[in-house]
Chain A
Amino acid sequence: MTAAIQAQPDERVGKKSLTDRLVVRPEIGALLGAVLVFVFFSVVTGQFLSPLGVATWLDDSSTLGIMAVVVALLMVGGEFDLSAGVMTASTSLVTAILATQAGWNVWLALGVSLAFALGVGAFNGWLVMKTGLPSFIVTLGSFLALQGLNLGVTRLVTSTVQVSGMRSTSGYESAGALFASTFDVGGTEFQSSIIWWIVVTAVAAVLLMRTRFGNWIFAVGGSQVSARSVGVPVVRTKILLFMGTALGAWLVGSINILRFASVQANQGIGLEFQYIIAAVIGGCLLTGGFGSAVGAAIGALIFGMARQGIVFAQWNSDWFMLFLGIMLLAAVLVNNAFRRRAERVRR
C-alpha cells in the first residue's frame, strides 16, 4: 500500500520537459510570430534586411515598444490606460511650450513635463481606486480631456497648432544627446530610442519577474480581493502602475520632441490601442494577472516590422491597414493557440 504510493511520484514536484517549460512562457507565441514576420519580409522584400532597413523598422518599433512595455505592466495589474497615447503629445507640448515660448532651459522644461505626467498618472490611478469605476472609463475621460488641453493650450499660447523651434533653445544639444541621438553600427545610423526601448524592457522585466513589487502586480491583476486579504498594498501598487505608463509617455514624448524638434497638437491620438494590441500580442490578457514585459516588446517589434515591411514590399498603400490588421490578427491567433497548449501543460 505505502509502496504503491511511493512509486507514484508527486506531479507537483516532477521535472517538466524543456518544451513544456518553454511553452508556458507568455512571450513564446509572440516570439514565434516575430520570427515568422521577420522571415516573411526578409524573403519577400529586397531592402528589409539591409542595415538601413533594419534601422528603419527598429526605429518604428522602439517608441511603440517603450509604451507597450509600461502598458503591459499596467495590464498585468488588471487596468487600462487609454490616455497613454495622447499623453506622449501632452508631455512633448509642455516641454516645447516652456522651452520655446517661455525661454526656459530644455532640462528644466523636461523636469516640469515629467512632474506633469506623473501628476496626471497619479490622478488617473487615484480616481480609479477611489471611485471603483473601470479604468477604461476613467482614462477615456482623461484621454479626451488631455486632447482638448493639447489643442486649447497650444492655440492659446502660440495661436497656431504646432510648436516648433526646439533646435534653437538652450540645452537642446545636451538633452538631445541623451534622448534623441543616433549611434553608428557599421556605418548605419541607428536611433538611440532603440537603446531606451531595450533599457525599459529590461528594467520592466526584472521588476515584474524578480521583485516583490512584481509579485504585487500579478496579485492585484489576478484578484484584487485576494491580494488585499494577503496584505498587498493594492491602492499604492495600482497608482504606481498608472504613474509608470505616464512616465513611459513622458520618455516617448521627450524622445519625439527632441528628435523632431516640433510637435503638433493632434499627435498621439489613437496610439493607445496600438500599445494595448502590442501588449496582447506579447501575451498579456485583457483580464489581467498574466503577461510579460519582454512579450510586449516583441509585440511592438512585430507591429513595427509589419508596418515598415508592408512599405518595403511596395504593396498598394490603399490596403495598408487591411494588411496590418490581418497580420496582427494572425499574431494574436498564434499566441492564443500557444496559450491553450500552455494551459494543458499546467494541468
Chain B
Amino acid sequence: MFSMKKLAGVAAIAAAGLVLSACSGPSADNSSSSASGSSSAAAPSTGGPLKIAVVTHGTSGDAFWNVVKNGAEQAGKDLNVGVDYFADGDPGNQARLIDNAVAQKVGGLVVSMANPQALQTSIQNAVKAGIPVVTINSGEDSSAAFGAIAHVGQSEGLAGQGAGQRLKAAGKTKLLCVIHEAGNIGQNQRCDGAKQTFGTVSTLQVDISNPTDAQARIRGALQSDPSIDAVLALNSQVAARAVDAAKEASSKAQVATFDLNADVVAAIKAGTILFAVDQQQYEQGYLPIVFLKLYKENGNTIGGGKPVQTGPGFVDKSNIDTVAPYAQRGTR
C-alpha cells in the first residue's frame, strides 16, 4: 500500500547521515563522572556591567516566584547588575533557557533545580563555558556536583518536619497535605517531612492554575473525612483556598501553610491560619546576585560547600505585625 521503496530510501539516507555525523551520545552515570566542584578563580571582569540570567521553574504569575523575581531585580538595581528573569515549568524548556543564556554569554547564571537531572547537561555546559552558576530553591543535593559555586534555599524535608512538629504541638491529630504542582519533588518532600514528625497524613493533589477546582477538591476532602483537623498548604494561594474550603465545609480543620502573601498575613491576624512556614524567598532572588558579583569581582565563594539556608522561619500571631508591611509590598 505504501511505496515502500521511496520511504526506505529516504530513511536509509537519513540514517546514514545520523551515523556519519560525528555523534557523541549522552554519558551514563559513573560514580566519578560528575563535574569537578573546584572552581578556578574568576578572571577579573573586563569592563561593562555584569549581566546575570535567572532561570527558574516557577510558572509566571505565581505569587511565590514573583517575590524571588522582585529580590533578583532589586539586587540588580542596588548593585548595578543587569538581571534578566526567565521561567518555564517544563524541565526541557528550562534546560533550553539555560542553553540560551550560555549562548548569550551572560556573566553569571542563577537556576532553580526542581528537576536536577534534566538540567544537568545544560548547567555543566554553562560551567564549562566559564559561567559561574548559583542554584536556588531546590536541588541542593546536586548543586555542588554540577559545579555550581553555591546553593541558596530551604531544605524541604527539614521545613516539612518543622511544620509537622508545630501542628502536633498545637494538638492536631489528622493532617491533609495539599500538593499543587504534580511534577514538583520538593512538595512531596515537604509532605513526607510532615509525615515523619506528625504521624497521620493524607495527601491531596490540586492544580495551582485552577483555584476554583483547588478549593472544591479541598472542600470535598474535608467533607468526606470530618476527622481531619489540620490542612497543610504548600503555597500561599492554595492556603487562601483551603481557608475558604474549610469554612464552606464547616470543618473544624485549621490551616497552616508554606509561604506568605497578603491574604495569608490577613488570615494569620484573623486567626484563620495557624502559622506560615516562611522560606524568605526574597533572599533566594537577592543573594545569588550578590554572590555572583562578589565571585566575579573578588573571587569570593560562600557557604563553604553547604547550602545557604533561607528558612524555615515561622510567622504566626507573635511576629505578624513586623512582617505584614513587607508582605504587602511583595518582598516577603
Contact A167 B2 (CB under 8 A): no
Q: Mark the stretch among B20-28, B214-222, B239-247 that contacts chain A.
A: B20-28
Decide yes or no: A262 and B25 within 8 Å by CB, A151-B182, A202-B10, A210-B6 being known contacts. no
Contact A180 B26 (CB under 8 A): yes
Q: How far is the CA of A265 from the CA of B15 in the complex (A)?
A: 32
Q: Mark the stretch among A55-63, A127-135, A282-290 that contacts chain B.
A: A55-63
Q: Mark the stretch among B114-122, B144-152, B254-262, B295-303 that contacts chain A.
A: B114-122
Is B102 close to A, CB under 8 A? yes
Query: Which of B17, B100, B205 has the most chain A CB atoms closer than 10 A to its own CB?
Result: B100
Q: How far is the CA of A161 from the CA of B183 in the complex (A)?
A: 5
A-chain residues with CB within 8 Å of residue B27 when the two chains form the complex: 167, 173
Is B168 close to A, CB under 8 A? no
Q: How far is the CA of A210 from the CA of B184 in the complex (A)?
A: 46
Query: Which of B3, B27, B120, B183 has the most chain A CB atoms closer than 10 A to its own CB?
Result: B183
Decide yes or no: A213 and B117 within 8 Å by CB, A203-B11, A314-B84, A317-B85 being known contacts. no
Contact A260 B95 (CB under 8 A): yes
Is B266 close to A, CB under 8 A? no
Is B14 close to A, CB under 8 A? yes
A-chain residues with CB within 8 Å of residue B270 when the two chains form the complex: none
Contact of B103 among A47, A213, A258, A262 (CB under 8 A): A47
Contact A265 B25 (CB under 8 A): no
Q: Mark the stretch among B86-94, B154-162, B272-280, B306-314 that contacts chain A.
A: B86-94
B interface size (C-beta, 8 A): 56
Q: How far is the CA of A312 from the CA of B101 in the complex (A)?
A: 8
CB distance from A165 to the nearest CB of B (A): 8
Is B269 close to A, CB under 8 A? no
A-chain residues with CB within 8 Å of residue B120 when the two chains form the complex: 261
Which residue on A lies nearest to B118, using beta carbons? A260
Contact A317 B84 (CB under 8 A): yes
Q: How far is the CA of A184 from the CA of B24 in the complex (A)?
A: 8
Which residue on A lies nearest to B129, using beta carbons? A52
Contact A161 B185 (CB under 8 A): yes
Decide yes or no: A56 and B188 within 8 Å by CB, A195-B21, A202-B14, A260-B117 being known contacts. no
Decide yes or no: A207 and B2 within 8 Å by CB, A161-B185, A199-B11, A262-B118 being known contacts. yes
Q: Give B residues with C-beta under 8 Å from A.
A: 1-3, 6-7, 10-11, 14-15, 17-18, 21-29, 60, 84-87, 89-93, 95-97, 99-105, 115-118, 120-121, 125, 179, 181-185, 187-188, 205
